[in-house]
Structure 1
Protein backbone atom coordinates (compact mmCIF):
# COMPACT_ATOMS: atom_id res chain seq x y z
CA UNK A 1 0.00 0.00 0.00
CA UNK A 2 3.02 2.27 0.14
CA UNK A 3 3.54 5.02 2.67
CA UNK A 4 0.47 5.23 4.88
CA UNK A 5 -0.34 8.54 6.50
CA UNK A 6 -3.47 7.46 8.35
CA UNK A 7 -5.38 4.27 9.04
CA UNK A 8 -9.12 4.96 9.17
CA UNK A 9 -11.75 3.42 11.37
CA UNK A 10 -15.26 2.87 10.04
CA UNK A 11 -16.49 5.67 12.31
CA UNK A 12 -13.87 8.12 10.98
CA UNK A 13 -14.67 7.20 7.39
CA UNK A 14 -18.38 7.75 7.99
CA UNK A 15 -17.76 11.20 9.49
CA UNK A 16 -15.86 12.21 6.34
CA UNK A 17 -18.59 10.75 4.11
CA UNK A 18 -21.20 12.80 5.97
CA UNK A 19 -19.16 15.94 5.30
CA UNK A 20 -18.35 15.34 1.62
CA UNK A 21 -21.60 13.68 0.50
CA UNK A 22 -23.39 16.94 -0.43
CA UNK A 23 -20.43 18.07 -2.56
CA UNK A 24 -20.05 14.63 -4.10
CA UNK A 25 -23.77 14.63 -4.90
CA UNK A 26 -23.45 17.98 -6.67
CA UNK A 27 -20.50 16.63 -8.57
CA UNK A 28 -22.41 13.52 -9.68
CA UNK A 29 -25.17 15.81 -11.01
CA UNK A 30 -22.59 18.01 -12.76
CA UNK A 31 -21.13 14.94 -14.50
CA UNK A 32 -24.63 13.89 -15.53
CA UNK A 33 -25.26 17.24 -17.23
CA UNK A 34 -21.71 17.99 -18.41
CA UNK A 35 -21.27 21.13 -16.27
CA UNK A 36 -17.49 21.41 -16.65
CA UNK A 37 -16.93 24.45 -14.42
CA UNK A 38 -18.66 22.76 -11.48
CA UNK A 39 -16.83 19.50 -12.19
CA UNK A 40 -13.45 21.27 -12.13
CA UNK A 41 -14.11 23.24 -8.95
CA UNK A 42 -15.71 20.47 -6.91
CA UNK A 43 -13.28 17.79 -8.10
CA UNK A 44 -10.33 20.00 -7.22
CA UNK A 45 -11.71 20.64 -3.72
CA UNK A 46 -12.44 16.95 -3.06
CA UNK A 47 -9.05 15.81 -4.37
CA UNK A 48 -7.19 18.38 -2.24
CA UNK A 49 -9.18 17.29 0.81
CA UNK A 50 -8.48 13.62 0.10
CA UNK A 51 -4.74 14.27 -0.14
CA UNK A 52 -4.76 16.27 3.08
CA UNK A 53 -6.73 13.66 5.06
CA UNK A 54 -5.25 10.55 3.45
CA UNK A 55 -8.15 8.92 1.62
CA UNK A 56 -8.60 8.22 -2.10
CA UNK A 57 -11.49 9.41 -4.22
CA UNK A 58 -12.64 8.79 -7.76
CA UNK A 59 -14.77 11.86 -8.40
CA UNK A 60 -16.09 10.54 -11.72
CA UNK A 61 -17.49 7.33 -10.20
CA UNK A 62 -18.26 8.67 -6.72
CA UNK A 63 -16.12 6.00 -5.03
CA UNK A 64 -14.14 6.77 -1.89
CA UNK A 65 -11.48 4.49 -0.36
CA UNK A 66 -10.14 4.76 3.16
CA UNK A 67 -6.94 2.87 4.02
CA UNK A 68 -7.41 0.59 7.03
CA UNK A 69 -6.02 -2.57 8.59
CA UNK A 70 -7.72 -5.92 8.86
CA UNK A 71 -6.91 -7.60 12.18
CA UNK A 72 -4.25 -4.96 12.74
CA UNK A 73 -1.88 -6.37 10.11
CA UNK A 74 -3.37 -6.65 6.63
CA UNK A 75 -3.83 -3.67 4.33
CA UNK A 76 -7.43 -3.19 3.29
CA UNK A 77 -9.67 -0.40 2.05
CA UNK A 78 -12.99 0.69 3.47
CA UNK A 79 -15.07 1.45 0.39
CA UNK A 80 -17.96 3.87 -0.13
CA UNK A 81 -19.99 4.42 -3.30
CA UNK A 82 -22.04 7.63 -3.59
CA UNK A 83 -25.48 5.99 -3.61
CA UNK A 84 -24.85 4.16 -0.32
CA UNK A 85 -26.00 5.61 3.03
CA UNK A 86 -22.62 5.02 4.76
CA UNK A 87 -19.44 2.96 4.53
CA UNK A 88 -20.70 -0.62 4.35
CA UNK A 89 -18.07 -2.41 2.26
CA UNK A 90 -14.36 -3.15 2.27
CA UNK A 91 -11.91 -4.95 0.01
CA UNK A 92 -8.26 -5.90 -0.08
CA UNK A 93 -5.86 -3.28 -1.39
CA UNK A 94 -4.93 -5.39 -4.40
CA UNK A 95 -8.49 -6.33 -5.40
CA UNK A 96 -10.97 -4.46 -7.56
CA UNK A 97 -14.01 -2.55 -6.32
CA UNK A 98 -16.24 -5.28 -7.75
CA UNK A 99 -14.70 -7.63 -5.15
CA UNK A 100 -16.11 -5.60 -2.24
CA UNK A 101 -17.19 -7.46 0.87
CA UNK A 102 -20.26 -6.19 2.69
CA UNK A 103 -19.25 -6.63 6.32
CA UNK A 104 -17.45 -3.74 7.97
CA UNK A 105 -18.34 -5.36 11.30
CA UNK A 106 -15.20 -7.45 10.78
CA UNK A 107 -13.32 -4.30 11.74
CA UNK A 108 -14.77 -4.08 15.25
CA UNK A 109 -16.86 -1.37 16.80
CA UNK A 110 -14.27 1.34 16.22
CA UNK A 111 -13.22 0.14 12.79
CA UNK A 112 -9.94 -1.69 13.32
CA UNK A 113 -9.89 -5.07 14.98
CA UNK A 114 -6.42 -5.67 16.33
CA UNK A 115 -5.09 -9.11 17.20
CA UNK A 116 -5.17 -8.22 20.88
CA UNK A 117 -8.91 -7.51 20.64
CA UNK A 118 -9.76 -10.96 19.20
Structure 2
Protein backbone atom coordinates (compact mmCIF):
# COMPACT_ATOMS: atom_id res chain seq x y z
CA UNK A 1 0.00 0.00 0.00
CA UNK A 2 1.29 3.47 -0.93
CA UNK A 3 1.82 5.57 2.25
CA UNK A 4 1.27 8.85 0.38
CA UNK A 5 -2.25 10.26 0.63
CA UNK A 6 -4.08 10.41 -2.64
CA UNK A 7 -4.65 13.86 -4.08
CA UNK A 8 -8.27 14.71 -4.81
CA UNK A 9 -8.96 15.25 -8.50
CA UNK A 10 -9.97 18.88 -7.88
CA UNK A 11 -6.63 19.64 -6.19
CA UNK A 12 -4.40 18.32 -8.97
CA UNK A 13 -2.27 20.79 -10.87
CA UNK A 14 -4.18 22.64 -13.56
CA UNK A 15 -3.15 23.87 -16.97
CA UNK A 16 -5.90 26.50 -17.00
CA UNK A 17 -4.33 29.93 -17.65
CA UNK A 18 -4.80 32.43 -14.83
CA UNK A 19 -5.64 35.27 -17.20
CA UNK A 20 -7.35 35.67 -20.55
CA UNK A 21 -5.48 37.18 -23.53
CA UNK A 22 -7.64 40.26 -23.99
CA UNK A 23 -5.28 41.98 -26.42
CA UNK A 24 -5.48 39.11 -28.91
CA UNK A 25 -9.27 39.07 -28.63
CA UNK A 26 -9.58 42.84 -29.04
CA UNK A 27 -7.48 42.75 -32.22
CA UNK A 28 -9.57 39.90 -33.58
CA UNK A 29 -12.85 41.74 -32.91
CA UNK A 30 -11.61 44.92 -34.59
CA UNK A 31 -10.48 43.04 -37.68
CA UNK A 32 -13.66 40.94 -37.76
CA UNK A 33 -15.89 44.02 -37.69
CA UNK A 34 -13.82 45.87 -40.27
CA UNK A 35 -13.81 42.99 -42.75
CA UNK A 36 -17.43 41.92 -42.24
CA UNK A 37 -19.25 45.22 -41.76
CA UNK A 38 -17.17 47.70 -43.75
CA UNK A 39 -19.50 47.87 -46.77
CA UNK A 40 -22.72 46.71 -45.11
CA UNK A 41 -25.73 49.02 -45.17
CA UNK A 42 -28.36 48.88 -42.46
CA UNK A 43 -31.16 46.41 -43.12
CA UNK A 44 -33.30 45.76 -40.07
CA UNK A 45 -34.11 42.19 -41.14
CA UNK A 46 -30.46 41.24 -41.68
CA UNK A 47 -28.87 42.93 -38.63
CA UNK A 48 -30.03 40.27 -36.18
CA UNK A 49 -28.36 37.56 -38.30
CA UNK A 50 -25.19 39.65 -38.71
CA UNK A 51 -25.03 40.15 -34.94
CA UNK A 52 -25.61 36.48 -34.23
CA UNK A 53 -22.94 35.39 -36.73
CA UNK A 54 -20.39 37.87 -35.37
CA UNK A 55 -21.03 36.86 -31.75
CA UNK A 56 -20.66 33.17 -32.61
CA UNK A 57 -17.36 33.84 -34.37
CA UNK A 58 -16.07 35.87 -31.41
CA UNK A 59 -17.04 33.12 -28.97
CA UNK A 60 -15.32 30.52 -31.17
CA UNK A 61 -12.15 32.65 -31.12
CA UNK A 62 -12.37 32.92 -27.35
CA UNK A 63 -12.52 29.12 -27.16
CA UNK A 64 -9.41 28.92 -29.36
CA UNK A 65 -7.50 31.35 -27.14
CA UNK A 66 -8.42 29.70 -23.81
CA UNK A 67 -10.38 26.50 -24.39
CA UNK A 68 -10.70 25.20 -20.82
CA UNK A 69 -11.56 26.66 -17.46
CA UNK A 70 -13.49 29.69 -18.73
CA UNK A 71 -17.10 30.64 -19.35
CA UNK A 72 -17.87 33.07 -22.16
CA UNK A 73 -20.67 35.46 -23.02
CA UNK A 74 -20.73 37.66 -26.12
CA UNK A 75 -23.22 40.40 -26.92
CA UNK A 76 -23.23 42.14 -30.31
CA UNK A 77 -25.72 44.91 -31.01
CA UNK A 78 -25.96 46.53 -34.45
CA UNK A 79 -27.97 49.73 -34.90
CA UNK A 80 -28.52 52.14 -37.72
CA UNK A 81 -26.13 55.09 -37.77
CA UNK A 82 -28.20 58.24 -38.19
CA UNK A 83 -25.41 60.57 -37.07
CA UNK A 84 -26.35 60.21 -33.41
CA UNK A 85 -22.94 58.97 -32.28
CA UNK A 86 -22.54 56.00 -30.02
CA UNK A 87 -21.26 54.95 -26.67
CA UNK A 88 -21.17 51.58 -24.99
CA UNK A 89 -20.11 50.89 -21.44
CA UNK A 90 -20.27 48.09 -18.93
CA UNK A 91 -19.04 48.04 -15.35
CA UNK A 92 -17.91 44.74 -13.89
CA UNK A 93 -17.00 43.83 -10.32
CA UNK A 94 -15.49 40.39 -10.61
CA UNK A 95 -12.29 38.59 -9.86
CA UNK A 96 -9.06 40.01 -11.25
CA UNK A 97 -8.77 37.10 -13.70
CA UNK A 98 -12.15 37.86 -15.35
CA UNK A 99 -12.26 40.08 -18.40
CA UNK A 100 -14.67 42.26 -20.33
CA UNK A 101 -13.66 43.47 -23.78
CA UNK A 102 -15.75 46.38 -25.07
CA UNK A 103 -15.58 47.45 -28.69
CA UNK A 104 -17.55 50.08 -30.57
CA UNK A 105 -17.30 50.12 -34.36
CA UNK A 106 -19.09 52.32 -36.87
CA UNK A 107 -19.31 53.30 -40.50
CA UNK A 108 -21.69 55.73 -42.20
CA UNK A 109 -24.55 53.18 -42.01
CA UNK A 110 -23.98 51.17 -38.80
CA UNK A 111 -23.10 51.43 -35.12
CA UNK A 112 -21.93 48.13 -33.67
CA UNK A 113 -21.31 47.57 -29.95
CA UNK A 114 -19.71 44.39 -28.64
CA UNK A 115 -19.18 43.08 -25.13
CA UNK A 116 -17.14 39.88 -24.77
CA UNK A 117 -16.95 38.44 -21.25
CA UNK A 118 -14.45 35.82 -20.13
CA UNK A 119 -15.18 34.51 -16.64
CA UNK A 120 -12.83 32.07 -14.96
CA UNK A 121 -14.73 28.96 -13.95
CA UNK A 122 -14.10 27.51 -10.55
TM-score by length of 1: 0.33
- Tell me which of the two structures has the higher relative contact order, counting C-alpha pairs closer than 8 angstroms and 6 or more residues apart: 2
Structure having the larger proportion of residues in helix: 1
TM-score by length of 2: 0.33
Task: State the structure with more CA Rg.
Answer: 2
